Amino acid sequence: MTETPPPLDPNTPGPWIRQSFGPYVLRRKLAEGGMAEIFLARRSDGQDGAREVVIKRIRQALVGQPDFLEMLRQEGRLATQLVHPHLVRVYEQGSVEGRAYLCMEWLAGEDFSTLVRLASLRREFMPVPLVLRVLADAARGLHYAHDFVDASGQALNIVHRDVSPSNLYVTFEGQVKVLDFGVAQAGGAATRPGEMKGKVIYMAPEQALGGAVDRRADVFSLGVCLYEALTHVRPFARERDAAVLDALREGDFPPPRALRPELSPELEAVVLKAMAPAPARRHASAAEFADALERLLSREYPPATSAHLAAYLRASVGEERYREKTFVPPFDPSGKGGGSKVVRSPMLTEPPRRRSRPGAWLPWAAGALALGLVGGGGVLLLSRTASVPAPPVPETPSLAQVASRAPESESLPDAGTQPPVPESAGKESPRTRQAGRGSSRQASGSGRGKVPATLEVADIQRVVTRNRASYLSCFERHKEDLRADEGEVRMRFTIQASGRAETSTQGALAERPLGKCLEQKLNRLRFPAHRGDAVTVVLPLGYRVTR
Ligand SMILES: Nc1ncnc2c1ncn2[C@@H]1O[C@H](COP(=O)(O)OP(=O)(O)OP(=O)(O)O)[C@@H](O)[C@H]1O
């Protein structure tokens, strides 16, 4: 159990600085997104009422690229008009020596993807009612934006278009705020070809496929965020973009209760409705989605208020990170003194004397796992097993450092985890690799060009694990083929230098629908290209059914 989580780059604040930027003094870099750097700042002339603000300025490398400049301007144009408790408040936009920026309220807290990931590192799920609180509040904020009418009385038909867990923010006061209207559009226009922006695995199919979008595209993305927080599976994560698009179009993902059977059918119905491939079958608005979540909260769960969320967040991140994110040194506008002695910001309250584990205040949160699915030589659990930890959320680019400290294969459930098995000796062509847990990764370290010399078992496991949502449905559909409550299906992969794989099921299941289904799904995976011979490994996909 990880009490104090490792630092979360790139969203770990940097050292204190004093850097002039137009009318502002930048005091600390808080985060770096794909498009912008985020700084804690103060106005040097004191005109901001002596409060901390956040400056989001376009990254130096993107200065001069009109697309990104336009994105920040667009974000500024829309977001400065939107004032709602569940949307980050944007005060003004401007430009300093060609660097566009936005000035906004400072939020001390964590984004939702960090919260979910911290829970997954502890092998727990975030308590369901708190997940519902976050999504319901975010939906209210989005609904306000969707319904927004400007000063001239014109409905703008704003669609955020980039709703993802990293754009939902939870403050230490338990407030939920939607961030980043960088790709938001007024008028629901279609995305022009070659202009895809936002994170595709959270996108509604009509958006990902370049069609016209309306508010229901954001409802879909909220549904995907909800699904991921409840199951720790990214339903549309696939190795190739084309496969993501197929999965989005077909709605190809396991229902949440296939992953966590103890979730209520009513909750599952809300998730599935939000994630319906056809917009007409979704909740008609974000408010309708929020109402459905609120109804569940009032009927099925204990109260989940912002105070509960605040307590959970603080316990989840630990005191050290809480202090790190809320302490602010005094500001000396003259620049002659201050800046070295750290004092508490006014919002900091006394830390509790005893540190409680997150979730401890909600007993029903404990052991709330139902089904864990772990591909690539892991164990697949097909029903509720209270002692089994929650599966980790797959690696996210924004948290690459966490992922490298705790790679998926190391944070998988222990129960029944099996190393890949070397194929029987004597078959030399194609080359048979000794597959073992301890094998080191050489793939990227050769320094001899971009294509690695070898493909390691860890690389293969990673691809299989990351794509588990795509083949879980086989186990669901063909449960009758599983002869025992516990076992493994051994899959043989022959991976060509191009990264294409041929997969076959070993043993009795080879002729059964389950084996055929797995082969079909796994044949679609693309592995890293490598130099040299084809590589063959046999990976057991372990499973356990508890009735
Ligand atoms: N007002 C704020 N207060 C505190 N932190 C913030 C604020 N706005 C953004 N952040 C932090 O900065 C991160 C990146 O912000 P944002 O998503 O707006 O930038 P971006 O460059 O558009 O990112 P991306 O394109 O990767 O989504 C957020 O996940 C959050 O951690």
Ligand 1 pocket residue status of 326, Cβ below 6 Å: no
Q: Is it the case that residue 15 has pLDDT exceeding 90?
A: no
Residue 306 and residue 220 share a domain: yes
Residue 153 and residue 56 share a domain: no
How many Å apart are CA 456 and CA 386, to the nearest integer?
33
Q: How far is CA 515 from CA 380, 492, 506, 511, in A?
A: 15, 11, 8, 7
Residue 88 and residue 55 share a domain: yes
Share of residues in the chain with pLDDT > 70 (%): 71
Segment 434-460 mean pLDDT: 51
Task: Kindly give the number of the ligand 1 atom that is closest to the alpha carbon of 180.
Answer: 18
Residue 124 and residue 47 share a domain: no
Residue 219 and residue 102 share a domain: no
Show the domain range for 84: 9-106
Comparing 334 with 57, the larger pLDDT belongs to 57
Ligand 1 midpoint to CA 33 (Å): 6
We report the CATH number of the domain holding residue 57 as: 3.30.200.20
Q: How many domains does the chain have?
A: 3
Q: Is it the case that residue 83 has pLDDT exceeding 60?
A: yes
Ligand 1 pocket residue status of 30, Cβ below 6 Å: yes
Comparing 135 with 534, the larger pLDDT belongs to 135
Total number of residues shown for the chain: 547
Ligand 1 pocket residue status of 104, Cβ below 6 Å: yes
Ligand 1 pocket residue status of 34, Cβ below 6 Å: yes
Segment 424-447 mean pLDDT: 33
Give the per-residue pLDDT at 330.
79
Segment 111-134 mean pLDDT: 95
Segment 245-251 mean pLDDT: 96
Ligand 1 pocket residue status of 167, Cβ below 6 Å: yes
Query: What's the N-to-C CA distance of the chain in angstroms?
Result: 28
How many Å apart are CA 266 and CA 276, to the nearest integer?
15
Give me the chain's average pLDDT, please.
75
Q: Is it the case that residue 188 has pLDDT exceeding 70?
A: no
Tell me the pLDDT tens digit for each residue of 51-75: 899 999 988 888 878 777 777 787 7
Reported as a pLDDT band with limits 50, 70 and 90, residue 206 is: very high
Q: Coil, strand, or helix at residue 43?
A: strand
Task: Kindly give the number of the ligand 1 atom that is closest to the alpha carbon of 36.
Answer: 21
Reported as a pLDDT band with limits 50, 70 and 90, residue 405 is: very low
Give the per-residue pLDDT at 350.
32
Reported as a pLDDT band with limits 50, 70 and 90, residue 110 is: very high
Q: Flag whether 17 is in a domain.
A: yes
Task: Kindly give the number of the ligand 1 atom that is closest to the alpha carbon of 166.
Answer: 29
Say what the ipTM of the complex is: 0.96
Give the per-residue pLDDT at 338.
40
Q: Flag whether 119 is in a domain.
A: yes
Query: Among 273-277, 297-301, 482-486, 533-537, whose mean pLDDT is lowest?
Result: 482-486
Give the per-residue pLDDT at 416.
25
Strongest mean pLDDT among 24-33, 355-364, 381-390, 533-542 = 24-33
Segment 193-200 mean pLDDT: 61
Q: Is it the case that residue 160 has pLDDT exceeding 90?
A: yes
Give the per-residue pLDDT at 10.
52
Give the per-residue pLDDT at 11.
60
Q: Flag whether 415 is in a domain.
A: no
Q: Is it the case that residue 125 has pLDDT exceeding 50?
A: yes
Give the per-residue pLDDT at 143.
98
Amino acid at 387: S
Q: Coil, strand, or helix at residue 349?
A: coil
Mutate to test the pocket of ligand 1, among 37, 56, 67, 68 (most ligand atoms within 8 A of CB): 56
Mutate to test the pocket of ligand 1, among 9, 30, 55, 160 (most ligand atoms within 8 A of CB): 30
Reported as a pLDDT band with limits 50, 70 and 90, residue 49 is: low
Domain limit, last residue, from 301, 330, 359: 330
Contacts of 525 (CB under 8 A, 6+ apart): 239, 463, 464, 467, 470, 501
Residue 244 and residue 148 share a domain: yes
Q: Is it the case that residue 258 has pLDDT exceeding 50?
A: yes
How many Å apart are CA 277 and CA 27, to the nearest integer?
45
Ligand 1 midpoint to CA 508 (Å): 51
Residue 137 and residue 39 share a domain: no
Ligand 1 pocket residue status of 107, Cβ below 6 Å: yes
Domain limit, last residue, from 90, 106, 122: 106
Query: Among 98-107, 110-119, 434-443, 525-534, whose mean pLDDT is lowest?
Result: 434-443
Q: Is it the case that residue 373 has pLDDT exceeding 80?
A: no
Give the per-residue pLDDT at 163.
96
Ligand 1 midpoint to CA 145 (Å): 18
Domain limit, last residue, from 106, 138, 163: 106
Q: Whose CA is nearest to atom 15 of ligand 1?
A: 33
Segment 352-357 mean pLDDT: 38
Segment 174-189 mean pLDDT: 78
Q: Is it the case that residue 456 has pLDDT exceeding 60?
A: yes
Residue 209 and residue 153 share a domain: yes
We report the CATH number of the domain holding residue 462 as: 3.30.2420
Give the per-residue pLDDT at 450.
62
C-alpha torsion 309→315→320→324, nearest 10? 0
Reported as a pLDDT band with limits 50, 70 and 90, residue 462 is: confident
How many Å apart are CA 406 and CA 466, to the nearest integer?
15
Ligand 1 pocket residue status of 40, Cβ below 6 Å: no
Residue 196 and residue 280 share a domain: yes
Ligand 1 pocket residue status of 461, Cβ below 6 Å: no
Segment 224-251 mean pLDDT: 94
Q: Is it the case that residue 426 has pLDDT exceeding 90?
A: no
Residue 465 and residue 326 share a domain: no
Segment 174-201 mean pLDDT: 71
Cβ count within 10 A of residue 383: 15
Q: Is it the case that residue 225 has pLDDT exceeding 50?
A: yes
Cβ–Cβ under 8 Å, residues 233 and 373: yes
Segment 210-216 mean pLDDT: 94
Q: Flag whether 266 is in a domain.
A: yes
Give the per-residue pLDDT at 468.
76
Segment 476-492 mean pLDDT: 78
Q: Are strands 109-111 and 168-171 parallel, antiparallel or unpaired?
A: antiparallel
188: left (phi over 0), alpha (psi -120 to 50) or beta: left
Ligand 1 midpoint to CA 75 (Å): 12
Q: Which of 137, 162, 180, 214 is catalytic?
A: 162
Residue 246 and residue 224 share a domain: yes
Long-range pairs, 290-295, Cβ under 8 A, ≥24: 290/135, 290/136, 290/137, 290/139, 290/140, 290/143, 293/132, 293/135, 293/136, 293/139, 294/136
Segment 95-112 mean pLDDT: 93
Ligand 1 pocket residue status of 90, Cβ below 6 Å: no
Ligand 1 midpoint to CA 37 (Å): 8
Give the per-residue pLDDT at 288.
98
Comparing 115 with 384, the larger pLDDT belongs to 115
- Known catalytic membership, residue 252: no
Q: Flag whether 69 is in a domain.
A: yes
Mutate to test the pocket of ligand 1, among 11, 161, 169, 313 (most ligand atoms within 8 A of CB): 169
Q: Whose CA is nearest to atom 25 of ligand 1?
A: 34
Q: Flag whether 151 is in a domain.
A: yes
We report the CATH number of the domain holding residue 271 as: 1.10.510.10
Ligand 1 pocket residue status of 296, Cβ below 6 Å: no
How many Å apart are CA 157 and CA 147, to the nearest integer?
7
DSSP secondary structure letters along 70-121: HHHHHHHHHHTT---TTB--EEEEEEETTEEEEEEE---EEEHHHHHHHHHH
Segment 503-520 mean pLDDT: 88
Comparing 97 with 206, the larger pLDDT belongs to 206
Is 74 exposed, middle or buried, given 0-12, 13-18 or 19+ CB atoms closer than 10 A? Answer: middle
Segment 268-294 mean pLDDT: 98
Cβ–Cβ under 8 Å, residues 522 and 239: no
Q: Flag whether 396 is in a domain.
A: no
Query: Among 145-154, 169-178, 194-203, 381-390, whose mean pLDDT is lowest?
Result: 381-390
Residue 48 and residue 115 share a domain: no
Q: Flag whether 302 is in a domain.
A: yes
